[in-house]
Amino acid sequence: MSKLSQYKKLNVRKAVTLIPAGRRPTGEPLESNFGMTALAAPGEEWPSQNDDPMLLVFQMNLSNAPEVPSLLKDIQLITFFVKAEDGIWPEEEGGDWVLRAYKSLDGLVPLQRPASLATRRRGFEARWQVADDYPAHGDPGAVLPKGFDEDELDEAELETLPQTKIGGWPEHVQSEPWWDYRAHAADPKYCLQIASELKAGFQWGDGGVILIARGTAPGTEEQWFLDCQSY
């Protein structure tokens, strides 16, 4: 087996990408979507800051995803909101961004969309797609076979998928995410990526990505963390 084949075998991960669908919307409230609708627990309100409603970026229905990474196995639906697309968001949830994770679909109800957001953009329902994913150069999680020259990857056309996805490897626009080089008591681990979805009208900086991690230390599993990188 060649060293490149060894590298691929050691480092391939399944990523499940979320792609804006080019079909007529079904209108089903459980559909995964970008910028359209969101479910919530009874009594939850649309997230806002200083009385300004946040932008709904997506709803992910993980219950019908073809594969789910281990860090998200206990979750069935995720919604994600931000204050503004051009903001500099804090590393920890609260204030400028909100991620809501639901472990059951039972009892969830549609959120009433604020009137000020009603015509802001065109949303899209989305579909799942499974693909092989590989680490970026210098990713600390990559395993290099003995004697392997990482420069060989330039010719191998193995890429870190740039789409919105669960699982797989995080895309490095500037560097590895901060939780890979700076200790945190919650021991955050990457679990999903939010790409600049131009079709749905979302762009993070200059074509950047938002990386999301979940706390893995005991008692921190409900904590979420963010790293936004752009060109």
Q: How confident is the model at residue 88 (pLDDT cuts 50, 70, 90)?
A: confident
7-11, 59-63, 153-157, 168-172: the lowest-pLDDT one: 153-157
Burial state string for 195-229 with b = 16 or more CB within 10 A and e = fewer than 16: bbbeebbbebbeebbbbbbbbeeeebeebbbbbbb
Least confident stretch, 9-13, 15-19, 49-53, 58-62: 49-53
Confidence grade of residue 64 (pLDDT, cut at 50, 70, 90): very high
The answer to whether the beta carbons of residues 110 and 117 sit under 8 Å apart is: no
DSSP for 83-104, written as a single string: S-TT----SBSSSSEEEEEES-
- On whether the 3-229 domain is CATH 3.30.2010.20, my answer is no
> Is the model's pLDDT at 120 over the cut of 70?
no
Q: Provide mean pLDDT across the span 62-90.
A: 90
The Cα–Cα gap between 103 and 185 comes to 24
pLDDT at 209: 93
Give the domain ranges of the chain. 3-229
DSSP string across 139-192: -TT--PPTT--GGGHHHHT-----SSEEES----SSSS-GGGTS--TT--EEEE
C-alpha span between 193 and 168 (Å, rounded): 9
For the stretch 25-46, pLDDT in tens is 788 899 999 999 999 999 999 9
Q: Which pLDDT score, from 0 to 100, does residue 130 have?
A: 96
Q: Which residue has the higher pLDDT, 98 or 151?
A: 98
pTM assigned to the model: 0.92
Q: What is the mean pLDDT of the chain?
A: 89
Question: Does position 107 have pLDDT exceeding 80, yes or no?
Answer: yes
Q: How confident is the model at residue 118 (pLDDT cuts 50, 70, 90)?
A: low
Confidence of residue 1 (pLDDT cuts 50, 70, 90): low
